[in-house]
A and B are shown apart, each in its own frame.
Chain A
Amino acid sequence: EDQVTQSPEALRLQEGESSSLNCSYTVSGLRGLFWYRQDPGKGPEFLFTLYSAGEEKEKERLKATLTKKESFLHITAPKPEDSATYLCAVQPTSGTYKYIFGTGTRLKVLA
């Protein structure tokens, strides 16, 4: 069964304290892996798409990487405005084009 597991469930960082969020996945084949940011009361906001192992994408303080089993979202020198829930989703090659989401990592960055 296709599955996505994110860890940790919650993370508290001091401003400037770099860390990584993990997304482990089990799929028969991977079309794409997607990272989203979600603020309270809002819909998910698209961050990155990764398609193949070894691929990396960067945007400001965020960098996403992909291996055959997992993806990491690295946050460098975070600021309080980076506080949000970060969601990972996979699009398997089996079946149609639905996304399977993890439960997310709630990140709190303290000033």
Chain B
Amino acid sequence: GAGVSQTPSNKVTEKGKYVELRCDPISGHTALYWYRQSLGQGPEFLIYFQGTGAADDSGLPNDRFFAVRPEGSVSTLKIQRTERGDSAVYLCASSTSPNTEAFFGQGTRLTVV
């Protein structure tokens, strides 16, 4: 399909390990967002890309979290030295332009044990 694709769907990792989460946005969408959602909560903003650059990374909780979008399409969210509190569903979304509706992927469920 032509929707936002996130891989993997599920990721189980041990505390202290490094993980990468991938997002393939809808083709042609210049804006890309990462959100984190805990059980029973709404999505919480992490970072927003316009093209290749991170226009707003104010939601990244600390310097263990980093995201890139080197060619303005695929994005990778990287988490170093994972902690159990990082366990959540990580959602990616994209939109044609920043002030139009964003379309979400199915999410990556990260579990840190």
- Give A contacts to B, CB under 8 Å: 4, 31-32, 34, 36, 41-46, 49, 87, 89, 91, 95-104
Identify 24 residue pairs between A and B in the complex whose beta-carbon atoms are under 8 Å apart, listed by A's number: A4-B42, A34-B101, A42-B106, A42-B107, A43-B91, A43-B93, A43-B106, A44-B43, A44-B93, A44-B104, A46-B103, A49-B100, A87-B43, A96-B56, A97-B31, A97-B56, A97-B98, A98-B45, A99-B33, A99-B35, A99-B45, A101-B35, A102-B42, A103-B42
User: How many B residues have CB within 8 A of the partner chain?
Assistant: 29
B30-61 near A? 1/0 per residue, CB < 8 Å: 01010100001111110010100001101100
- Give B contacts to A, CB under 8 Å: 4, 6, 31, 33, 35, 40-45, 48, 50, 55-56, 58-59, 91, 93, 98-107
- Assembly CA distance A13 to B62 (angstroms): 42
**Minimal beta-carbon separation of B34 from chain A (angstroms):** 10
| Of listed B31, B40, B42, B91, residue having the most chain A CB within 10 A | B42
Say yes or no: A101-B44 contact (C-beta < 8 A), given A43-B91, A44-B104: yes
**Minimal beta-carbon separation of A109 from chain B (angstroms):** 20
Q: Is the CB of A43 within 8 A of B105?
A: yes
Which residue from chain B places its CB closest to the CB of A51 in the assembled complex? B99
Which residue from chain B places its CB closest to the CB of A48 in the assembled complex? B101
- Assembly CA distance A103 to B50 (angstroms): 26
- Assembly CA distance A100 to B59 (angstroms): 11
Q: Is the CB of B56 within 8 A of A98?
A: yes
- Assembly CA distance A44 to B106 (angstroms): 8
What B residues does A4 contact at CB under 8 A? Answer: 42
Q: Is the CB of B101 within 8 A of A95?
A: no
Q: Is the CB of A98 within 8 A of B105?
A: no
Say yes or no: A43-B104 contact (C-beta < 8 A), given A97-B48, A103-B40: yes
What B residues does A97 contact at CB under 8 A? Answer: 31, 48, 50, 55-56, 98-99
Say yes or no: A49-B101 contact (C-beta < 8 A), given A42-B106, A96-B55, A98-B33: yes
